[in-house]
Structure 1
Amino acid sequence: MAGPLLWQNFKVFVTRYPIMRGMISYSLIWPTGSLIQQTVEGRRWGTYDWWRVLRFSMYGGLFVAPTLYGWVKISSAMWPQTSLRTGVIKAAVETISYTPGAMTCFYFIMSLLESKTVEQAVAEVGKKFLPTYKVALSVWPLVATINFTLIPERNRVPFISACSLCWTCFLAYMKHLEHHEVDGAI
């Protein structure tokens, strides 16, 4: 009997505090992306970098989910309609405002979580931002348009978090390339 009651309480909690739904989703999806990337890299259970997995979980749950939640709330207030035109506008604004900041923060904060210096973090942003952003331009405008057009607001962060699993694998791949490997990686 405790299982169904626990599940019911969980559903009430994430309905009452929708930001928590995104934080829980991202704190699970981002480390999953890291594990998938490490598996492709050739690692297995005994050789996974569990600290890397933890960093991805912390970053996804404590940074990405709240900032994405804020962006969804702001964009929904600015453009409350759910038409195709509005979805395209939101996707375009997100692509030139939220996305560059989010990518910069990803490389910078994750570098700091790896105990790199501020100078090393800045260098990593400088080397990896543009190649990553170019790939993002080919993926996220379409995904964002679908999100803002077809998905109800309360499900937008979880929808994007599910779509971001593949993207997180790509970010994990880019993050762990050495600077000299970035140019030929994409």
Structure 2
Amino acid sequence: MTKEVLKDVVEQDRQMLVSLVMSNMDRGVSTQSETRNAQLQNLAVLGLVIAYVVWQFSTVDMNIWRGWSIEEKLFRLVPANWNAYEEALAREPLFVKSVLTGATYFIGDWIAQSVENKGKNRDPLLIDRWRLLRNTVLGFVLLGPIAHYYYDWNASWPFPWFFKLFIDQTSYVPFHNTIYFMSLELLAGKRIGEAWKDYKGKFWDFLFAGWRLWPWVNILTYTIIPIRHRLLWVDSLEIVYAAILSLLANEKDAKETPAGPSSEQDSPPPPPAAPAAVEAPSSLSHHTEQPAHGHTRVDVHADTEGGGGGGAGEQHLIDPAAVITPETPAVDEQQRNVVTR
């Protein structure tokens, strides 16, 4: 197989992958029916997620409910769920922390897209599900495991907390931002060179966003939060950071990608303003008739100072092109093309 044929095969596979992970929302919703379908599907996804979380939270003690009253079940919900989390964390720490980070980036990207929709005056349910899925998968597959190993490794350092905080902000945050942006762009179908070029233009925006939040959070992280709960503590606040990262990562695409139908597009355009009326001089009254040769005869009667009734005036032939209409701007009297018989 020649190099050119192999290159074509790789490009075809890449295009097929892009078509799988991209949606109409990535390219811009173009019709009203696509918008309605997207809204209904997004509402169904959100409903299923909320129903699953509520069910898991409310039935944590279902296997020992026999004989319990409703008050006993409600009273036990919070401590029972915390105990279930502790048990799962001790049993499968990597999986639990990955799920937590995946949920963090799911919620964060949903918030980011809602903010974008509000800025564009679009329906809040017009969420790009594939972009949401890319963020969730990225949090579960990459960012969660990285954070798990990083915080365990960080806890083993024989250094004071402020040194750990310094390393965190100068090394881990830029590394985290780079992994997030590059992976998200590649999942969206962009090439490595194109993604890296975009990231270089946003590197400092990402870093400054992290520096505004994490130094204050990690003062508590490295002083009073237990090691096994550090990722839970960080993820609870990383929802805001995930929303900020998603907004920054999709800022260029949001400007260039055509948006779906908005309420501004659905409303009819305002009617044109009525043209200003042309006032005729109060001292002149006109009587027109249409003679031959395409000219208009105008009898102009000038009011005398003392008469009030007015006498006969002169008759003029006026070129129709020079007659002032509401659509024609008024011109100076000397510029009129008046042909005197």
TM-score by length of 2: 0.48
Which residue identity is paired with 1:49?
A: D
Contact 1:107 1:124 in 2 (8 A): no
Match of 2:116 in 1: 41
Tell me, yes or no, if structure 1 residue 97 matches structure 2 residue 171: yes
Deviation, 1:89, is 1.4
Deviation, 1:111, is 0.2
Deviation, 1:152, is 0.4
Contact 2:114 2:124 in 1 (8 A): yes
TM-score by length of 1: 0.85
Match of 2:213 in 1: 139
Deviation, 1:138, is 2.3
Match of 2:87 in 1: 12
Match of 1:79 in 2: 158
Q: Unaligned stretches of 5+ in structure 1?
A: 81-85, 182-186
Deviation, 1:37, is 0.9
Deviation, 1:140, is 1.0
Cα distance in 1 for residues equivalent to 2:85 and 2:253: 43
Instruction: Could you list the structure 1 runs, at least 4 aligned residues long, displaced by more than 4 angstroms after superposition.
Output: 5-11
Question: How many residue pairs align between the two structures?
Answer: 174
Tell me, yes or no, if structure 1 residue 21 matches structure 2 residue 21: no
Match of 2:107 in 1: 32
Which one has a larger percent strand, Structure 1 or Structure 2?
2
Match of 1:67 in 2: 146
Which residue identity is paired with 2:102?
A: S
Deviation, 1:50, is 0.5
Tell me, yes or no, if structure 1 residue 124 matches structure 2 residue 198: yes
Match of 1:184 in 2: none
Match of 2:39 in 1: none
Q: Which string of whole-angstrom CA distances, capped at 9 and with x for unpartnered residues, describes residues 94-130 of structure 1?
A: 1111111111111111000001111111112111111
Q: Which has the larger radius of gyration?
A: 2
Deviation, 1:79, is 3.2
Kindly tell me: are residues 10 and 138 of structure 1, through their superposed partners in 2, closer, same or farther at Cα, counting changes over 3 Å? closer
Deviation, 1:12, is 2.7
Match of 2:250 in 1: 176
